[in-house]
A and B are shown apart, each in its own frame.
Chain A
Amino acid sequence: MGRIVLESVTKKFGNTEVIPPLDLTIEEGEFVVFVGPSGCGKSTLLRLIAGLEDVSSGVIKIDDNDATDLAPAKRGLAMVFQSYALYPHMSVRKNITFPLRMAGLSKAEQDERVTKAAEVLNLSDYLDRRPGQLSGGQRQRVAIGRAIVREPSAFLFDEPLSNLDAALRVGMRLEISELHKRLETTMIYVTHDQVEAMTMADKIVVLRAGNIEQVGSPLELYHSPRNTFVAGFIGSPKMNLIDGEEAAKYGAHTIGIRPEHISVSGSEGPWSGKVVVSEHLGSDTFFHIHGTGLADTITVRVDGEVNFKYGDRVYLTPRDDVIHKFDAEGLRIG
């Protein structure tokens, strides 16, 4: 249960094509993350799968059945929204049992499932409260609870953590990952945060302007980005992209080198520049370096605490074995 296939799916709003013909297969039990900058069509794609938007052409199959024209409720999918979308006039218990009521389950079965879900999500003490009396994290749990009681064939998450503060976001990220491990149900997760994508996904789908730029595991994307867009989007801090003479030395139009693959020294190295900003995180240090003649800013990440300050001249050495090469179209070479 939970294999989703998109075949030549397109979506137009008026005359604007938001999703050009797109093919994608999501395997049973996979955790797939759609990632991309805002306006790239990732949420639209999710809503097409959910059935909240109609496709302009193409076919959507869920578990080998054509679901293209099925109503959202008939697709056996559950969705968690960015705004939680809880029913404000119902208690937590009523919110969670709503899909079961709609499905016509017996009262006993409703109670059993809601008790189980509440235990899993630490909501047992809040079942009789209204959503307005809960914190953001608790509301998000209720939304997840409402999704899991249905035992859907796949979960759809639409930027579920972007309304939470940073600390809570990390916690909920782990909870969702754990939930996936336990339920082993297909999950499709939309985010613009590449850290969420990298940490949670089995498979990442990078989107730009409705096009799939690359599909792969987090590490595949990290180690061999298919083009400069993916190279710049995946990884934090961003990969340094260098054009011109320096790139020509490597036989490429553009070369990419990740900040963690450059070493920094006060005395020797092929590249040099001045430190503009140094960010000390304790576990590692980021330097932003200007005046190298290679790119506006070169970012370097070094382990631990390294003391260079504003204005210091530093020398940089890239690790040759992990340099990414791209041609004039921005596509990966070799």
Chain B
Amino acid sequence: MARAVTTQRKTLNTLIAWSIGFVIFFPILWTILTSFKTEAQAINDPPLFLFFDWTLENYAVVQERSNYMRFLWNSIFLAGGSTLLGIIIAVPAAWSMAFVPSNRTKDILMWMLSTKMLPAVGVLYPIYIGFVKLGLLDSRLGLMIILMLINLPIIIWMLYTYFKEIPGEILEAARMDGASLKDEILYVLTPMAIPGIASTVLLNVILAWNEAFWTLNLTAAKAAPLTAFIASYSSPEGLFFAKLSAASTMAIAPILILGWFSQKQLVRGLTFGAVK
């Protein structure tokens, strides 16, 4: 009897989980489906789900009208560059906070996190002016630095929690075994921290890729990444849903594929330390 209840429960839980998953995924699915419709079918009432005339026309039009590759390249450059720069700064920072903490380490960590609570628009004006004065407006370098800075607290926090999990005794053992600081970092710490660094890099690439506030406000044409590419189809084009959807699908496809193949790493990264 007890077993029967458990099985029923399991089935119910599975159903609920799949339903929630479907609801969350639905907007993305709808965007992808719409990208294969004609403009008329896209605004059909009642909406058409699967049974319409599938077409690649929107993709052809979008590709013709705007240079997808340029936006894609900017996105790759910004996501990759800001992540690399962030990691270079965050690794030593997290390292020192995890292994040589001071009385203020906890406060510093909280302070860094608190900067994420500030609405970005609150500092838009000073940063915009600063960018104008420094000639960084619509430059990939400027945007890369901004993206790095806004994600830096998250990178440091993630790395910090990873490094905290590495037992200090192992580093002491290495020191007793004759390892210099360089050997200790190279042969013991880094290999142990690589899974952590990998999932941090992954998450940060995704965050930077999806960032749509600074990338829209600080770029015009030169440095615009895929977020701007999507946006360019929303306002001036009015109600061309199918083309907007095609542009969106093209913009999110690379990161969706990356996320799909690295989901194991990502989940591990996000729940690290919670379950052991």
Contacts and interface: CB of A to CB of B under 8 A. Distances in A.
A79 interface: yes
B78 to A, nearest CB: 33
Interface string A156-194: 000000000000000000000000000000000000000
Contacts of B174: 87, 98
A78 B176 contact: yes
Given A89-B192, A102-B183, A71 B172 contact: no
Interface residues of A, number: 22
Contacts of B178: 73, 99, 102-103, 150
Nearest to B183: A102
A82 B169 CA distance: 9
B129 to A, nearest CB: 47
Interface string B107-139: 000000000000000000000000000000000
A146 B188 CA distance: 15
A73 B169 contact: no
A1 interface: no
A278 interface: no
Contact of A79 (B173, B180, B191, B192): B173
Nearest to A143: B173
Contacts of A217: none
A166 to B, nearest CB: 23
Interface string B167-182: 1011011111111100
A248 interface: no
A150 B178 CA distance: 10
A85 interface: yes
B172 A81 contact: yes
Interface in A220-279: none
A79 B173 CA distance: 7
B172 A89 contact: no
Which residue among B170, B173, B183 has the maximum number of chain A CB atoms within 10 Å of its CB?
A: B173
Interface in B59-93: none
A50 B192 contact: no
Interface string B223-249: 000000000000000000000000000
A101 to B, nearest CB: 8
Contacts of B167: 83, 85
Given A83-B167, A85-B167, A50 B176 contact: yes
A85 B168 CA distance: 9
Contacts of A146: 173, 177
B176 A77 contact: yes
B274 to A, nearest CB: 20
B177 A98 contact: yes
Contact of B179 (A73, A83, A89): A73
A52 B170 contact: no
Contacts of B191: 89
Contacts of A82: 169
Nearest to A146: B177
Which residue among B170, B175, B178 has the maximum number of chain A CB atoms within 10 Å of its CB?
A: B178
A52 B179 contact: no
A156 to B, nearest CB: 8
B177 A73 contact: yes
Contacts of B175: 52, 71-73
A88 B176 contact: no
Contacts of B172: 52, 72, 79, 81, 85
Which residue among B175, B176, B178, B191 has the maximum number of chain A CB atoms within 10 Å of its CB?
A: B176
Contacts of A85: 167, 169-170, 172-173
Interface in B139-182: 167, 169-170, 172-180
Interface string A46-89: 00001010000000000000000001110001110111011111
Nearest to A73: B178
Interface string A192-205: 00000000000000
B176 A102 contact: no
A25 B179 CA distance: 28
A77 B178 CA distance: 10
A201 B173 CA distance: 24
A83 B169 contact: yes
A52 B173 CA distance: 10
Contacts of B170: 85-88
Nearest to B194: A89
B179 to A, nearest CB: 5
Given A83-B167, A87-B188, A52 B177 contact: no
Interface in B177-208: 177-180, 183, 187-188, 191-192
B235 to A, nearest CB: 52
Nearest to A89: B191
B169 A81 contact: yes
Nearest to B168: A85
Contacts of A83: 167, 169
A301 B187 CA distance: 54
A249 B176 CA distance: 55
The list of the 3 closest CB pairs from A to B, nearest first, reads A102-B178, A99-B177, A85-B173
Interface of B: 167, 169-170, 172-180, 183, 187-188, 191-192
19 contacts: A52-B172, A52-B175, A72-B175, A77-B176, A79-B173, A83-B169, A85-B167, A85-B169, A85-B170, A85-B172, A85-B173, A87-B170, A88-B192, A89-B191, A98-B187, A99-B177, A103-B178, A146-B177, A150-B177
